[in-house]
Amino acid sequence: MSVSGGKNIMVYVETVSQSPVSGALEVLSKAHKLAADRGEKVIAVLIGMDLEEAARTSILAGADQAIMVKRETYDMEVFGEVLTKLAEKYRPSLILSAGTLAGKDIMPMVACRLHTGCAVDVMDITETDGQLVFTCPVYGGTVLNQLIITGTPAIGVVRSGAFAKELISERTGEILEEKVETEDTNRLKIIDVVKEMAEAVNLEEAEVIVSGGRGMGSLENFKLVEQLAEACHGVVGATRPAIEAEWVPRSHQVGQSGKIVAPKLYIACGISGATQHVSGMIGSGYIVAINKDEDAPVFDIADVGIVGDAVKVIPLLIEEIKRISSR
């Protein structure tokens, strides 16, 4: 069944340990602005257990209404069906979600069931002549497509860091629970969930990221990146070559095939600046690059570039930072 001539913006708010993921709050804040311009409402949808607190946070981030749907465990098909049914009931003109793995899983399914289109990796949403225009990167981010979705509702999966989250404590809204019947097809049975990392690497929410690339040269040298990250209270990032050399687990990967990040400070150590990596960090507030090759493209985007061997530069940088922060 298709939903046509919709109104309002529905946002799927993914939660981890009963808290909304940062990307979802960013999307809510953008949705709030879009809805205000259009005279519409923002409807947050949360699926899980004990989500009242998360629903309140969603209101603060920009939702006018937060719908909670009870489900014990994550199941892509069930979650997709819940969203599809709510979309059929509430008839939004736009459905958004954060660009997490789950968001990228569920939204295409909803789009398929509603016979509409889903834009992914959305970097911006604007309104022109009453139409929503989505900006999406192609070819690894070297080219941007601005497109409209002809089907209704339009569906968008938003790149993390694309929009700023604004939690405003005065905001109020309605929190309600919906019972949505879903078919338990059980086509895919989850047998086990394995956490490989002691704690999730939260690159998307980090204010400081220190990344290392091929130029670090060895596993031993890569430890310097970790030490610098520690000195700046930042999170460790890496390029694909560093991941493939197994200097650091894949969850640390920044770039087209890893995480898209936008910290306040990004320090790139021994990173040449290939598009695949740069497209994942270009949104950073301030970029520092350390590379011994003075012609490395990373210097074209850095606010401060230090031409020198990262292995020699980093220890001195750590000392300087410690000296300054101890003042």
Residues 19-78 that bind another protein (CB under 8 A): none
Q: How far does CA 70 lie from the centroid of its chain?
A: 24
Tokens representing 128?
């022109």
Among 6, 62, 141, 156, binds another protein (CB under 8 A): 141
Please select the residue that binds another protein; options are 2, 4, 18, 142, rule is CB under 8 A. Answer: 142
Q: Which is nearer to another protein, 67 or 274 (CB)?
A: 274
Q: Report the distance separating Cα 61 and Cα 166, nearest Å.
A: 6
Q: Of the two residues 61 and 149, which places its CB atom closer to another protein in the complex?
A: 149
- Paired with 174 in beta bridges are 65
Q: Which is nearer to another protein, 62 or 99 (by Cβ)?
A: 99
Q: Which residue has 């991941």 as its token pair?
A: 243
Which of these ranges, 24-32, 40-48, 56-64, 285-293, lies near another protein under the rule CB under 8 A? Answer: 285-293
Nearer of residues 181 and 295 to another protein, judged by Cβ:
295
Contacts with another protein in 241-280 (CB under 8 A)?
251, 256-257, 265, 275-276, 279
- The CA-based dihedral angle spanning residues 57, 165, 156, 150, taken in that order and rounded to the nearest 10 degrees: 110
Shortest reach from residue 64's CB to another protein, in Å: 27
How far are the Cα atoms of 93, 113, 133 from residue 2, in angstroms, in the given order? 12, 8, 21
Binding to another protein in span 157-176, by CB under 8 A? none
Q: Are strands 265-269 and 304-307 parallel, antiparallel or unpaired?
A: unpaired
Distance, CA of 213 to chain centre: 22
Contact in structure between 135 and 123 (CB atoms under 8 Å)? yes
Binding to another protein by CB under 8 A, coded x per residue (else -) over 209-248, reads ----------------------------------------
Selected from 117, 153, 270, 280, the binder of another protein by CB under 8 A is: 117
| Residue 179 lies near another protein (rule: CB under 8 A) | no
Query: Is 145 a residue that touches another protein (CB under 8 A)?
Result: yes
Cβ-contact 107, 118 below 8 angstroms: yes
CA angle 195, 61, 105 (to 5 degrees): 40
In angstroms, what is the minimal distance from the CB of 243 to another protein?
10
Least distance CB 212 / another protein (angstroms): 17
Contact between 301 and another protein per CB under 8 A: yes
3-class state of residue 245 by DSSP: coil
